[in-house]
Chains A and B, each alone.
Chain A
Amino acid sequence: GDSVTQMEGPVTLSEEACLTINCTYTATGYPSLFWYVQYPGEGLQLLLKATKADDKGSNKGFEATYRKETTSFHLEKGSVQVSDSAVYFCALSRGSGYALNFGKGTSLLVTP
């Protein structure tokens, strides 16, 4: 079945450091890929998405590129801020009408 694998956390970075959170997936066909973020005390929010190979999703300085050849969708940011501290979830959907499959989540802590 479909599945998503994320790097284990927690990840601790200093402010302005570079961030990469790895995400790989297993799915039949051509799923849509998502990154969701959960800030402390809040629900999950869609951060970015990509719906086909080579698409790049971006938002709030974060980027992720849909790589079909490596079945990956790594999340990157060039300079993190303290306010980026949150749990990040990679997810996929086989298509319209199919539920999201999530990874385990990666906790990020950014220190001043």
Chain B
Amino acid sequence: EAGVTQFPSHSVIEKGQTVTLRCDPISGHDNLYWYRRVMGKEIKFLLHFVKESKQDESGMPNNRFLAERTGGTYSTLKVQPAELEDSGVYFCASSQDLVGNSPLHFGNGTRLTVT
């Protein structure tokens, strides 16, 4: 089966610009998660979708971040306007069942650099 796919793999933008990251989960996986790793720090949870609904968005840092999952398939994460501290690697993961009951499958990540 195809794995979790993320686009783009790298993005370099200027402060104040907008960037949209995309994640295609494994087909049939209802659970989709976004995580972020800032250089040298922990991988931090951002939010969790179950199908098209936001189950938990407690990790979203502020209202400059907007995540959507139209139709319960792929998901997008938009950062508008981007700030320097948004730089990092954004990971998407999907699972058939909830964390703890089935493994998370991660994408390769999108490396975002804000200059």
Task: State the A residues within 8 Å of B (CB).
Answer: 4, 32, 36, 41-46, 51, 89, 91, 93, 95-105
Q: How far is the CA of A22 from the CA of B44 in the complex (A)?
A: 20
Contact for A46 among B3, B40, B48, B103, CB less than 8 A: B103
Contact B109 A43 (CB under 8 A): yes
Contact A46 B42 (CB under 8 A): no
Q: How far is the CA of A89 from the CA of B99 in the complex (A)?
A: 16
- Most A Cβ at <10 Å: residue of B44, B48, B104: B104
Interface check B76, CB cutoff 8 A: no
Given the known interface contacts A43-B107, A45-B106, the answer about A95 and B43 at a Cβ–Cβ threshold of 8 Å is no
- Least distance between B35 CB and chain A CB atoms (Å): 8
Q: A43-B106, A96-B101, A99-B56 are in contact. List 11 more A-B contacts (CB 8 A).
A: A41-B108, A43-B3, A43-B91, A43-B108, A46-B103, A51-B100, A96-B99, A98-B99, A99-B48, A100-B35, A100-B99
Contact A101 B108 (CB under 8 A): no
Number of interface residues of B (CB under 8 A): 29
Contact A99 B99 (CB under 8 A): yes
Interface check B21, CB cutoff 8 A: no
- When distances are taken between beta carbons in the complex, the residues of chain B under 8 Å from A43 are 3-4, 91, 93, 105-109
Given the known interface contacts A43-B91, A43-B107, the answer about A98 and B100 at a Cβ–Cβ threshold of 8 Å is yes
- Least distance between A48 CB and chain B CB atoms (Å): 11
Q: How far is the CA of A101 from the CA of B55 in the complex (A)?
A: 17
- Least distance between B98 CB and chain A CB atoms (Å): 5
Contact B99 A97 (CB under 8 A): yes
Q: How far is the CA of A95 from the CA of B99 in the complex (A)?
A: 7
- Least distance between A77 CB and chain B CB atoms (Å): 20
Over the window 76-115 of chain B, the binary record of Cβ atoms lying under 8 Å from chain A Cβ atoms (1 yes, 0 no) is 0000000000000001010001111101111111000000
16 A-B residue pairs with Cβ-Cβ distance under 8 Å, sorted by A, are A4-B42, A44-B43, A45-B106, A51-B100, A89-B43, A96-B100, A96-B101, A97-B99, A97-B100, A99-B56, A99-B99, A100-B104, A102-B35, A104-B40, A105-B42, A105-B43
Q: Which residue of A lies closest to B6 (CB)?
A: A43
